[in-house]
Amino acid sequence: MSAIIHESGLRTLIDGWLASGKLVAAPVEVSGRVLYQRLKSSGEAILESRERPANSIKQFLFPRHQALFRYRLNGKQVELVDSADDTREQIIVAARPCDAASLPVLDHIFNCDCKDAGFDEARQRTTVIALACNSHDEACFCTSVGLGPSSEAGADALLVDLGDSEFEVRVLTDKGRKLFEGRTEPGTREAPALEGPPRKFDAGAVRQFLANGFDNPLWGEESVGCLGCGVCTYTCPVCHCFDMVDEGNAAGGERVRNWDSCQFQMFTQHASGHNPRATQSQRQRQRIYHKFSIYPERFGALLCTGCGNCARNCPAGLGVLRLLEKIDSRVRQQHV
């Protein structure tokens, strides 16, 4: 027996959550493209896994602009005030498995040894309802990074589309149980076996290449088209680099954290002018190394969920997949 919920029942649930003051986010159509956004009503939510949202769910836990604290200037004295936290419960509905999987990955960064309070608190008040994925495009490669269309990583519940506006509800955590308890009906319909994208490269081969590939000419050759715009990092579910700046006036202001990107020249430039990553190829190399060597070495997992956003959003037709396929084929041809 499985637990079933009808789409209309799910939308009623969402409206109930909204009415009780919870924040609810889901894929929404915005000017012809699909983006994860906070909902005003359940009618906006796209509860089928057609087009992959062009952004990711990280913004709901790691906002692109976040106040860290406020400062008040008073002559020679300064007063620091904690920023008010948003304590509202938050539910993300119909997250793609490649987005839900970003949360345990980000935990290693923000919730390891010293906890990042902002992320940690958002994580605790957030419940993720993933939607198993039954559409993939040529940019998708979740199956090459150890995930798949019905991966449960990072999700509190997983919905599987049964057709006829019905979903199987697989409850995965207590948080998920709380949302669906008493809201589903028993059913016997079998969820279809979902097929993910074909495997496109071998992550092990990529790591093997990276072990000695730092000075390989490939980086220069393959990064020529990169404009350095950073869209790959902003739309990536797991890219998490940030900048900290002060915003205010003569009376006071806030120290804020903003998303940053390893693809920008100023990211690593020293005050002296020296820049360890002065060229775009060095910055592309850093991104691949971070995802497939540095992070795995530190935390034993990949810093990539295979969502393909970097390729889909790239104005120059790049993205990590293209590079990884090149690396994979070089390893196969022993042309390392």
Partner 1 sequence: MCNNLYKPDLMEIIQVQRQTPDVKSVRVRFRDPARARAFSFRVGQFGIFSVFGAGESTFNICSSSNWKDYIEFCFRRTGRVTEALWRLERGDTIGFRGPYGNGYPVEAWEGKNLIFIGGGIAMPPIRCAVWYVLENREKYGNVTIVYGARKVADLTFASELDEWSRHARVRVIRTVDPGGETPDWKGEVGLIPHIVERSQISAANSVALVIGPPIMIKYTMPVLDRIGLRDEDIYTSLENRMKCGVGKCGRCNAGHVYVCTDGPVFTMQQLRSIPNDF
Q: Site residues (CB under 8 A) for partner 1?
A: 68-69, 71, 73, 76-78, 80, 82-83, 85, 109-110, 113-118, 121, 214, 240-246, 248, 250, 252-253, 255, 257, 260, 262, 267-272, 274, 276-277, 282, 286, 289-290, 293-294, 297-298
Alpha-helix runs per DSSP H in the chain? 7-19, 97-100, 102-110, 117-124, 174-180, 203-212, 218-222, 231-234, 280-289, 295-299, 309-313, 320-332
Minimum CB distance to partner 1 smaller for 193 or for 271? 271
CB 285 to partner 1: min, Å: 9
CB 158 to partner 1: min, Å: 29
CB 270 to partner 1: min, Å: 6
CB 79 to partner 1: min, Å: 9
CA–CA separation, 297 and 290 (whole Å): 9
Minimum CB distance to partner 1 smaller for 240 or for 312? 240
Minimum CB distance to partner 1 smaller for 115 or for 177? 115
Minimum CB distance to partner 1 smaller for 17 or for 234? 234
Minimum CB distance to partner 1 smaller for 182 or for 273? 273
CB 291 to partner 1: min, Å: 11
CB 209 to partner 1: min, Å: 14
**Edge-to-edge strands, sheet with 2-6:** 33-38, 23-30, 90-95, 126-131, 157-163, 166-171, 2-6, 185-187
CB 100 to partner 1: min, Å: 21
Minimum CB distance to partner 1 smaller for 118 or for 197? 118
CA–CA separation, 66 and 117 (whole Å): 12
If you ran DSSP here, which 8-state letter would residue 191 be given? P
CA–CA separation, 14 and 186 (whole Å): 20
Specify the 3-state DSSP secondary structure of 26.
Answer: strand
Query: Alpha carbon of 199 to those of 30, 141, 152, 314: distances in Å?
Result: 31, 7, 19, 21
CA–CA separation, 156 and 49 (whole Å): 18
CA–CA separation, 279 and 24 (whole Å): 41
From 48, 58, 6, 5, select the one nearest 27 (Cα to Cα).
Answer: 48
92 bridge partner residues: 25, 128
Minimum CB distance to partner 1 smaller for 108 or for 326? 108
